[in-house]
Structure 1
């Protein structure tokens, strides 16, 4: 006889009853497993263990799917935005099912989903991010999806949607940013007419960005989780580039996110001195 509790535990600690039945369980067996504990029924068709993922449990209880920044973060994408749980709900869903601290998405994505899923497909997630978040935050997510090869540029381009916000974010997205703090300078400099080329290889090493011919921007990700050796490698590369005639400006996360005015004014001051021009 099928061990239903073990099957649910091995399949993410939450499962739809239809999947259990396809795997060999019976309706009677599911009822018996729930009655004997610790399995519990969520709404009508979801069966879960008490220690299952709380976000998936919330989606099941709400008759919804995880989407937008919540789903993007679960996919390992770089996100910048609110910490609320984003839920995609069908048009007929009751608003009373939505938790007060959740963000509801009612729009239908480009992929028509009708099945026991608790997370929206990637295509829908990216479109819903663009519809929900500011332009910059949306491009950060799309850049990350391309960089991590969650989606190809061709696939992204072929997503059929009427969303103008998504099409604008898609046009600005590239696969060259290792993280969101590399996307942000590119977008903010482009807004004032400065082109930042990313991942240009100089002296057999890629630089985070270069303006003109000689002004290099390096984004310092050094922090509590980075090694001292990585920091030394960064400084050695800066020294090599300086000796080759480049000007290197290095900025960290706090400066880019929290003090952009300083970053921008420093770059403009360097350009005013012609440090971006060929010798």
Structure 2
């Protein structure tokens, strides 16, 4: 039971080195447990319980640790839509294997993204999953710029990292990634908001994020003085009460003279060019600024 308890305490998968050093488990104990079917050999030097997490087992079987967006999703952090298994492998590991069978080589059919980070300070492989800081650093390099910044925004917004920790994450990366620190906004409530914010600021549009409007609450983006942009994610507005609240907010905005645009997840992620065209047309017409023609509340 000592062996099984030890493996369970390590997340259901463990290296023989960790079992020996931290729990006093011998290789003989491991061999006996394997023969009894209590644990399975994942890869040389690693064993797991039968019910161990499949992603963790797959990452170790490949030859590394679960990392990048595969870890971010587990923390509820926004990241690019990519269901591949992301595995960090040390530079000296030459034989990467199938996540399903350690006897088979890794192939493109296995939907695995192997990372071999070269920057200094990358941790050695001692467990099956990377810490959040290492995973974030890989995700910054791995993802398109807008998604990478959205991941950093999300981690800050969920209080999973501090600003100081974010600086540490970016510090060892190449200069173009370190520059992301200048555009991160921990107030962002979703990746949709981040993407819209970055795109519109890149077009020179003046905007603020998460602005509180009387009788409305916080709005996602406020362009200029009066153009409100709301971004609706998959998980939002699914209940009748949410639908009604949206309409109440829209009425309250209109009553105060604001102009409102709402874009869906699909529109932002698949058809942003058209969304941007509409927004920029309103900005060019000064619809984002208070003018004499606009009716303002008394």
Q: TM-score, normalised by structure 1?
A: 0.90
| In structure 2, C-alpha distance between the alignment counterparts of 1:162 and 1:36, rounded to whole Å | 46
Deviations 1:188-229 (A, max 9, x none): 111211133110111161111100011111112366882110
- Deviation, 1:237, is 0.9
Query: Which residue of 133, 138, 150 maps to 1:123?
Result: 133
Alignment pair present for 1:255 and 2:267: yes
- Deviation, 1:27, is 3.1
| In structure 2, C-alpha distance between the alignment counterparts of 1:220 and 1:249, rounded to whole Å | 11
- Deviation, 1:151, is 0.9
Counterparts in 2 of 1:5 and 1:150: CA distance versus 1, 3 Å: same
2:3 matched to which residue of 1?
4
Counterparts in 2 of 1:76 and 1:121: CA distance versus 1, 3 Å: same
| In structure 1, C-alpha distance between the alignment counterparts of 2:212 and 2:236, rounded to whole Å | 28
Unaligned runs of 5+ in 1: none
Q: What secondary structure does 2:50 align onto? A: coil
Deviations 1:77-130 (A, max 9, x none): 111143222211111111443622322211245543135222223222222222
1:168 matched to which residue of 2?
179
| In structure 2, C-alpha distance between the alignment counterparts of 1:116 and 1:32, rounded to whole Å | 23
Query: Is 152-161 or 251-260 further displaced after alignment?
Result: 152-161
Alignment pair present for 1:240 and 2:252: yes
Deviations 1:204-258 (A, max 9, x none): 6111110001111111236688211012111101110110111111111111112
| In structure 1, C-alpha distance between the alignment counterparts of 2:232 and 2:180, rounded to whole Å | 25
Unaligned runs of 5+ in 2: 99-105, 292-298
Counterparts in 2 of 1:58 and 1:227: CA distance versus 1, 3 Å: same
Alignment pair present for 1:181 and 2:180: no
Asked if the contact 2:237–2:243 (Cα under 8 Å) also holds between the matched residues in 1, the reply is: no
| In structure 1, C-alpha distance between the alignment counterparts of 2:59 and 2:173, rounded to whole Å | 26
- Deviation, 1:6, is 4.6
| In structure 1, C-alpha distance between the alignment counterparts of 2:135 and 2:246, rounded to whole Å | 35
1:97 matched to which residue of 2?
97
Say what the alpha-carbon RMSD is for the aligned residues.
2.2
Counterparts in 2 of 1:181 and 1:110: CA distance versus 1, 3 Å: farther
| In structure 1, C-alpha distance between the alignment counterparts of 2:133 and 2:13, rounded to whole Å | 24
Asked if the contact 1:109–1:123 (Cα under 8 Å) also holds between the matched residues in 2, the reply is: no
| In structure 2, C-alpha distance between the alignment counterparts of 1:223 and 1:117, rounded to whole Å | 33
1:144 matched to which residue of 2?
154
| In structure 1, C-alpha distance between the alignment counterparts of 2:94 and 2:264, rounded to whole Å | 45
Matches within 5 A, 1:56-95: 56-95=56-95
| In structure 2, C-alpha distance between the alignment counterparts of 1:119 and 1:265, rounded to whole Å | 43
| In structure 2, C-alpha distance between the alignment counterparts of 1:187 and 1:242, rounded to whole Å | 26
Aligned residues between the structures: 278
| In structure 1, C-alpha distance between the alignment counterparts of 2:275 and 2:46, rounded to whole Å | 50
| In structure 1, C-alpha distance between the alignment counterparts of 2:53 and 2:183, rounded to whole Å | 34
